[in-house]
Amino acid sequence: MPAPRTRRTRAALAAGLAAALTAVAALVAPLVTAPPAVAAIDARALGARYDSSGSRITFRVYSSAATRMTVNVYAAPTGTGENASYLLTRDATGVFSTTVDVAALRAAGITGTVYYGYRAWGPNWPYSSTWTKGSSAGFVADVDAAGNRFNPNKLLLDPYAREISHDPLRPGMTTSTTYASGPAYRTTDSGPHAAKGIVLAATTPAFGTKPTRALKDDLVYEVHLRGLTRNDPSVPAAYRGTYRGAGMKAAYLASLGVTAVEFLPLQETQNDTIDVDPTGTAGDNYWGYMTLNYFAPDRRYAYDRSPGGPTREFQQMVKAYHDAGIKVLVDVVYNHTGEGGVYTAGGSNVYDIVSWRGLDNPTYYSLTADRQSSWDNTGVGGNYNTYNPVAQDLIVDSLAYWKNTLGVDGFRHDLASVLGNTCQHGCFNYHKTDPNTALNRITREMPPRPAGGGAGVDWIAEPWALGDGTYQVGNFPAGWSEWNGQYRDTLRRDQNKLGVAAITPGQLADRFAGSSDLYGDDGRRPWNSVNFMVAHDGLTLADLYACNAKNNNQAWPYGPSDGGSDDNNSWDHGGNAADQRRAARNGHAFLMLSAGTPMITGGDEVLRGIRCNNNPYNLDSSANWLGWSPTADQTTFRTFASRLAAFRHAHPALRPANFYSAADTNGNGMPQLSWFTPAGSAPDSAYWGNANNHALGWRIDGTEFGDPASAVYVGYNGWSGDVNFTLPSPGAGKQWYRVTDTASWAEGPNQVAVPGSEALIGGQGTNYLLRGRSLLLLVAR
């Protein structure tokens, strides 16, 4: 992920100044009441809301240490001063509020949409009656000993705004220091330029009927919403790259067998500057992992960008997917914010003040032990303070809004180990079972979907970040599924690092069978393993088998992009295109035939490549948008992928609710799952642990799962040469029929047989020659 500012610097305050700040804090302390540990949704009713009659607006915002708060209201989002300003009153819980008659706003000249923002004073900048916008009156320091960074010259975006007017930086306004603190910038008034909240009338949920399908039965399609249709000629030009356009692709995704679309972040992020230089990449934020507001759907993805338009259009898109039986999952970023970290030049006191930092810096952010700097062990500018109850409220309240008002069915959490942090300042301590972590509170407030399906939320974690203690694959609490990075790494190495990486048959079996070693010791199930070969963050499926290394420093539209992992476990197969396609067929087949929840990435179905760029976070370009003019080979692969997905959906034996058993529970002589060497015998411990063995077969007893096939058999030959497989019993009176062989000899539109047209192979003891680096799929009937 991009990190606009990752270099950390510190500037110590002079001893005399520190003492003065401590004294100020002591004077203010009696006014501050510790926030209650709220364990409910929307308990404080924060934000700006019309009353039921639409005649009054109540503004409510939280701050533990602010001593004065005003709300400025505007008739236009930029270029002018406020039409009116109202002083808010603080209650005993730290909530500042005021109620304003709409008639008074009309009299002040606000005859349409109400735009608003806050100005806050506190211990490091107490209120002075001589203060005017752009002055330093009352200033003590940019930061005090408690970590407060109040600055009344910075207009603050409401964290609970339902929509926002624009990004802080945009065409015509690219001066980031407008929002900065520090000696050179602290008196710059950001009001005329700052993003404002938009007061919306209450929204009626209009997102159709939510699917209740169990996660184990889903096929997830991860895609960038704009990139899905930006280059699609079947979508009217005005709708390409929008929520409305994305909704038009529901039927296409359903035809692929997709049952859940997972969009990269859709909450407002700093991306308006992308259009300043259409072919430039400096500072661009295409992926959207720098969130500016946790409630507002990003306007840039809306055809209708008028106030309320993005919300309505998002709901309509969700309804289109729900009508097609497809869940909508959204990637969310609660580990850091778009407010960013310390400036790379200027010292530890130079930070942007846009929203959370100016309202309550130590509540919303994890800080160093001295409270002077951001705590950053993820490389993205500073951690969100997920262990603070008020900061947690914002997480929970916004998730509930996306779930209940916007209709979202589940969430993938970026760098989710930060949500398990139990230390607010000066450290990072992940804890799986602490009931007070954001991880456990989220699932307590909004229960996960049951194993068998029904109402609930699909919670998915990216279980790692960059820093010490953040890699937690297999160590999330009950109720959470995870991106299984060990699945990805094990199978990539086995495919692409033959003779270099030591992968044993036992390791392969663990991943194919649902990773019980990771999820079986804490009550979780195989479907809690979200299996993937590639994701947005890394090489595409095509590039995984066509690139020996990343190549990010290319000219537009394929780059340049910085960052990206050097450890890709990729291989170009000697440049042989047929071998590359065969490897991709194997990688896709692994997902469709493994226990767990499979996830593919947008464009994988047609082997989309981006010339080895493995970190294209900043490329809003034709190279990064999905293509819609497939070649003949790409069309063939799409048929292969969709037919394998249909096979998975048709065979519940591949989608177990619990880990497979080695017992014969129905007395037909076949265990639920049996493993075989190519010779047809059961592997012994020596075979399981020998990394020089590169072939494995397994049979699933379909009768244990109500499967239409009495048995399913998979044979995988990871060797470069051919291997003869001796087939096990298909069951009494049954024969084996071939669904697919991924070898190059079989490539074509019917490489996966249409049900009923499978070729007869034979019964127990039949020999099958499986070509090098190929996979065989059989059914018994």
Identify whether the C-beta of residue 241 lies closer than 8 Å to the C-beta of residue 230: yes
What does the pLDDT read at residue 29? 33
Of 304, 375, 334, the residue nearest 461 (C-alpha): 334
Q: How far is residue 746's CA from residue 640's CA, in Å, rounded to a whole number? A: 11
User: Rg for the chain (alpha carbons), in Å?
Assistant: 28
What does the pLDDT read at residue 19? 32
What does the pLDDT read at residue 236? 98
H/E run at residue 413: strand 410-413
Q: How far is residue 741's CA from residue 777's CA, in Å, rounded to a whole number? A: 6
Structure token digits, residue 127: 């209120």
pTM: 0.94
CA angle (367, 368, 371) in 5-degree steps: 70
Using DSSP, state whether 483 is helix, strand or coil: strand
Percentage of the chain surpassing pLDDT 90?
90
pLDDT in tens, 11-24: 222 223 233 333 33
pLDDT confidence tier of residue 282, bands split at 50, 70 and 90: confident
Annotated active-site positions, please? 414, 462
CB count within 10 Å of CB 567 equals 9
pLDDT confidence tier of residue 345, bands split at 50, 70 and 90: confident
Based on the number of CB atoms within 10 Å of its own CB, is 79 exposed (0-12), middle (13-18) or buried (19 or more)? exposed
What does the pLDDT read at residue 472? 97
Q: Which residues contact 619 (CB under 8 A, 6 or more apart)?
A: 281, 284, 286, 557, 558, 559, 561, 610, 613
pLDDT in tens, 158-188: 999 999 999 999 999 999 999 999 999 999 9
Percentage of the chain surpassing pLDDT 70?
95
C-alpha dist (Å) from residue 748 to 202, 759, 761: 54, 15, 19
CB count within 10 Å of CB 20 equals 16
Report whether pLDDT(31) > 80.
Answer: no
Q: How far is residue 68's CA from residue 89's CA, in Å, rounded to a whole number? A: 8
What does the pLDDT read at residue 10? 22
Specify the pairing of strand 89-90 against strand 410-413. unpaired
pLDDT in tens, 44-64: 999 999 999 999 999 999 999
Report whether pLDDT(295) > 90.
Answer: yes
pLDDT in tens, 680-701: 999 999 999 999 999 999 999 9
| Amino acid identity for residue 425 in this structure | H
Using DSSP, state whether 501 is helix, strand or coil: coil
pLDDT confidence tier of residue 39, bands split at 50, 70 and 90: low
pLDDT confidence tier of residue 2, bands split at 50, 70 and 90: very low
pLDDT in tens, 608-667: 999 999 999 999 999 999 999 999 999 999 999 999 999 999 999 999 999 999 998 888
What does the pLDDT read at residue 278? 85
User: Considering the chain, what is the average pLDDT of its residues?
Assistant: 94
538-548 average pLDDT score:
98
Based on the number of CB atoms within 10 Å of its own CB, is 41 exposed (0-12), middle (13-18) or buried (19 or more)? middle
Q: How far is residue 2's CA from residue 426's CA, in Å, rounded to a whole number? A: 24
Identify whether the C-beta of residue 768 lies closer than 8 Å to the C-beta of residue 761: yes
Q: How far is residue 478's CA from residue 472's CA, in Å, rounded to a whole number? A: 14
Q: What are phi and psi of 29, to 5 degrees?
A: -50, -40
Q: Residues of 508-524 as b/e, b for ≥16 C-beta within 10 angstroms?
A: bbbbbbbbbebbbeeeb
Report whether pLDDT(43) > 90.
Answer: yes
688-715 average pLDDT score:
97
Please name every residue paired with 297 in a beta bridge, in sequence order, or none if there are none.
267
pLDDT in tens, 441-467: 999 999 999 999 999 999 999 999 988
Please name every residue paired with 673 in a beta bridge, in sequence order, or none if there are none.
700
Q: How far is residue 729's CA from residue 321's CA, in Å, rounded to a whole number? A: 42
Q: How far is residue 687's CA from residue 206's CA, in Å, rounded to a whole number? A: 56
pLDDT in tens, 120-135: 999 999 999 999 999 9
pLDDT confidence tier of residue 275, bands split at 50, 70 and 90: confident
Alpha-helix residue ranges (DSSP H) falling in 539-611: 541-544, 577-593
The residue that leads in pLDDT, 8 or 419, is 419
Q: How far is residue 377's CA from residue 356's CA, in Å, rounded to a whole number? A: 19
What does the pLDDT read at residue 40? 86
What does the pLDDT read at residue 346? 76
pLDDT in tens, 246-256: 999 999 999 99
Q: How far is residue 709's CA from residue 631's CA, in Å, rounded to a whole number? A: 34
Q: How far is residue 284's CA from residue 267's CA, in Å, rounded to a whole number? A: 16
pLDDT confidence tier of residue 1, bands split at 50, 70 and 90: very low
pLDDT confidence tier of residue 283, bands split at 50, 70 and 90: confident
pLDDT confidence tier of residue 154, bands split at 50, 70 and 90: very high
CA 4, chain centre distance (Å):
19
What does the pLDDT read at residue 347? 80
Identify whether the C-beta of residue 419 lies closer than 8 Å to the C-beta of residue 442: yes
559-578 average pLDDT score:
97
Using DSSP, state whether 438 is helix, strand or coil: helix
Identify whether the C-beta of residue 88 lies closer than 8 Å to the C-beta of residue 96: yes
Report whether pLDDT(729) > 80.
Answer: yes
What does the pLDDT read at residue 17? 28
Report whether pLDDT(300) > 70.
Answer: yes
Identify whether the C-beta of residue 161 lies closer than 8 Å to the C-beta of residue 293: yes
Structure token digits, residue 690: 């020998």
Q: How far is residue 32's CA from residue 26's CA, in Å, rounded to a whole number? A: 10
| Amino acid identity for residue 359 in this structure | L
What does the pLDDT read at residue 424? 98
Identify whether the C-beta of residue 489 lies closer than 8 Å to the C-beta of residue 249: no
CB count within 10 Å of CB 718 equals 21
